[in-house]
Every structure is written in structure tokens, then in C-alpha cells.
Amino acid sequence: MFRRDTPAEAAFRTEVRTWLEANLPTALRGRTTRPPPEELMPWYRTLSRKGWIAPHWPKQHGGMGATLNEQIVMTEELARVGAPPLPVQGLNHIGPILMEFGTEAQKAKHLPPIVAGTVIWAQGYSEPGAGSDLASLTTRATLDGDRFIVKGHKIWTTWAHHSDWMFALVRTDPQAQPKHAGISFLLIDLHSPGIKVRPIRTIAADDEYAEVFLDDVTVPAENLVGKLNDGWRIANALLGHERIGTSNPQFVLTALERIKTMARATGIIADPAFQDRLAAASINITALSALFSHAVELTNHEQSPGPESSIIKIVGSELLQSLNELLVEAAGGHATADCPFETNFGAVDAAIPYLFSRRVTIYGGSSEIQRNVLARRVLNLPS
Ligand SMILES: Cc1cc2nc3c(=O)[nH]c(=O)nc-3n(C[C@H](O)[C@H](O)[C@H](O)COP(=O)(O)OP(=O)(O)OC[C@H]3O[C@@H](n4cnc5c(N)ncnc54)[C@H](O)[C@@H]3O)c2cc1C
């Protein structure tokens, strides 16, 4: 990409490439949507047994403690082989948050199963009346002795129907002003009585997310992360990790490979005007990779990134969408098909990746909200 491997990194790259070629099942390569857990989690656990599931986690918590460049090598090699996206709510969201804000008991209980891939996590932030305006959330948690009683409704909860645990924002002080001063951060066992989960089908025809109904669910008080009514600070720290993670260059690199395969198959690769656009896309990917590595470098392993993470969220998500528009152009008349187009270089689908990419400027906070964050919290512009 934008840098050359040192001899040690080149050796590591060869090791990663060889191992991935030998171990990633063919059926999981180049998938346009995330495979269901029964297919994906065995692969997650294979990576875990190899010690490569959490390159960015410190060794003391079961991670690889990889250098930044080693992390980039892994990202590039995973994209090259067409590896599927893993569930990130444990690895990228709650894991780093527990390292920073969790009690020793919370770390000991929750970090090892995330690394092992024996427990899946979901993120319970959004509600029907609280998306961009997240601080309006109304899911209520009432402290009753050594437990909370939780009542409310979460929505757009990725993989909730496959998950065991959900980290959630709940209102613990309904009178607090401003509104975000009355929010706490809770860890909720999704197998608890009183929880109902209903999957939602997306425009790309997958059931990536779900609604979660909580009806007087008992949650032990020890599942509170940080202090009571201090959940907003933790929520924002987590969003910083989320925004950087969702812009991992693996996604755009995978999209670029798909465009090249499609363009070779349809012949548009020979068109100088298309080549020009492909070159521009490649340059933008190199720029994103540089930005990503800079962001990761700034993020100390146990410290959350700041509002600057909104920059990379905008660049990464909007680039992915423009790449999928290029894919549709490369596919020409084949773009309308909602089944893979058989090429000499394998099956490639344009419609599903295009539809799939529409979501990336929404989740983790929409592009409009990221621009608001940058205006207010980075540039200090008036509201
Ligand atoms: C694929 C996917 C997965 C998701 N996974 C999860 C998950 O696991 N957990 C979870 O909690 N949530 C999840 N979400 C929800 C996501 O965080 C919300 O959809 C997002 O925050 C937007 O909220 P909303 O849908 O309520 O839209 P709204 O907030 O109603 O926004 C609608 C439109 O208005 C714009 N808008 C709103 N307010 C402003 C403003 N002040 N200034 C300018 N424009 C504004 C928005 O940008 C958007 O275009 C997911 C969403 C998607 C698409």
C-alpha cells in the first residue's frame, strides 16, 4: 500500500498469506453479506486458536499485541483472500471499553470468551425514538437494591438474535438535565427472562439486525460499567472505537478486488476512462489506509480515540459507497441481477454489495452527524 514492508514484516506477511490460503474455507471467501454464525463462528475460533483473532489487543488480555504495521499486514491479507467480516461488537467495541473502564471482575468474566469466540455481543444504543439524537433514549433501568430492573425497546441491534450479551445505554435518572447526564452503561445477558428479540430483514436481503424488547429484565448491579449516570462518557468512547473500526481498509480493499474482477469479466477494464476512475479509487484507498494507520497509531491500546474518529468514519464509509457505485458501472447490464455473475475469475455480485453499502453512512452515527461532531467538537464552531 503506502509503505514498504521491512524484512520482518515481509516474513510475517508470507506467514499470514500462506496460513490464510490453507485455512480459510473456500465457501467463506468473497461473500457479499456476513455469513450466519453457524458458518462464521468456526472461522472466528480458528483465528482465535491461531492467536490472530485480536491483533490490536494487548497480550495480557489474550490479544496478539501486534505492532501497527503487523495489524495493517493482517488487514491487507484478510482483504486479499476475501475473508468475511467478523462480528466486531466484542472485539472492537465492548472489549476495548472494558479494558479502559471495566472492573477487574468484568474484565475477567467477559474478555476471555470474546477472544475464544464462545460469546457474541450486541450493541443496544438505538431506540425507535433515539437514533441520531441518542440522548433521548427512554429504556429505563431502575436500581432496586443490588439489581436493576430494565424496561424498554432497542432497535437496529446488529446480530442481537445471534448474541448472548448486549451492552446497552439505559436511562437511570429521568429528571437529569441535560438528558445525557441521566444515562448509564449496562451489560445485559440476552438469555435473561423478559427479553424478546425480533430479527429485521434489510434492503440487501440479510437479517443483520433485530429489535430487542426488554420487559422488567433483572440485571445485577455489578453489570454497571463505570459510575451510575456516567454512561454517556463511556458511550462516546465506544463510538470512537466503532467509527475507526468500521473504516478498516479491509472493506474497501475487498470492494476494489471485486470491481477489478467484474471489470475484467465485462471488458470495461480496457476502457481508458474506466481505468482512470479505477486509478483514482486506488489512490483514495491508499489515502484511507494512511489515515487509518494514523488513527490507530494515535489510539493507545487502552485509550479511546476522540471525536477525530469522525473524520475517518466519513472518509471510509463514503469511499466504500463510491466504490460500489463503480462496481455497478463495471457490471453494466449485469448490475441488476441479485444473484452472482459467473465470471472466469469466480462469481461476482454487484447488486447486493451496492445495497449493502448504503448502510455504512448510517450506522455508528450518520455522515451528517459526523460532520456535526467535527464542527462542534473538533473545530469548535458555534452550534
Ligand atoms: C446496518 C445498521 C446496523 C446498525 N447496528 C446498530 C447496532 O448494532 N446497535 C445500535 O444501537 N444501533 C445500530 N444501528 C442504528 C444506527 O446507529 C442509527 O440508524 C443511526 O444512528 C441513525 O439513527 P436513525 O436511524 O434513528 O435515523 P435518524 O436519527 O432519524 O436520522 C434520519 C436522517 O436525519 C439526519 N439527521 C438527524 N439528525 C440530524 C442533525 N441534527 N443534523 C443533520 N442531520 C440529521 C440523519 O443523518 C439521517 O440522514 C444500525 C444501523 C444500521 C443501518
- Segment 324-378, tens digit of pLDDT: 999 999 999 888 766 677 776 667 889 989 998 999 999 989 999 999 999 998 8
Q: Which cell is 188 given?
A: 445485559
**What is the number of the ligand 1 atom nearest to the C-alpha of 128?**
26
- CATH 1.20.140.10: which residues of the chain? 246-378
Convert the pLDDT of each residue in 140-190 to its tens digit: 999 999 999 999 999 999 999 999 999 999 999 999 999 999 999 999 999
Quick check: CB of 368 below 6 Å from ligand 1?
yes
pTM for this prediction: 0.92
Convert the pLDDT of each residue in 10-54 to its tens digit: 999 999 999 999 999 999 998 878 899 999 999 999 999 999 999
**Count of CB atoms within 10 A of residue 309's CB?**
27
Q: Say whether the peptide bond before residue 178 is cis (omega within 30 degrees of 0).
A: yes
Residue 2: pLDDT over 70: no
Q: Which CATH superfamily is domain 246-378 in?
A: Butyryl-CoA Dehydrogenase, subunit A, domain 3 (1.20.140.10)
Q: For atom 31 of ligand 1, which residue has the closest CA? A: 132
- CATH 2.40.110.10: which residues of the chain? 121-230
- The confidence score (pLDDT) of residue 217 equals 98
Quick check: CB of 167 below 6 Å from ligand 1?
no
CA 132 – CA 217 distance, rounded (Å)? 26
Quick check: CB of 362 below 6 Å from ligand 1?
yes
Distance from the alpha carbon of residue 154 to the mean position of ligand 1, in angstroms? 13
What would the DSSP string read from start to end of 70-136? HHHHHHHHHHHTTPPPPPHIIIIIIHHHHHHH--HHHHHHHHHHHHHT---EEEE--BTTBSSSGGG
Arithmetic mean of pLDDT, 226-237 = 96
The CATH fold of domain 121-230: Butyryl-CoA Dehydrogenase, subunit A; domain 2 (2.40.110)
Q: Which cell is 317 given?
A: 464509509
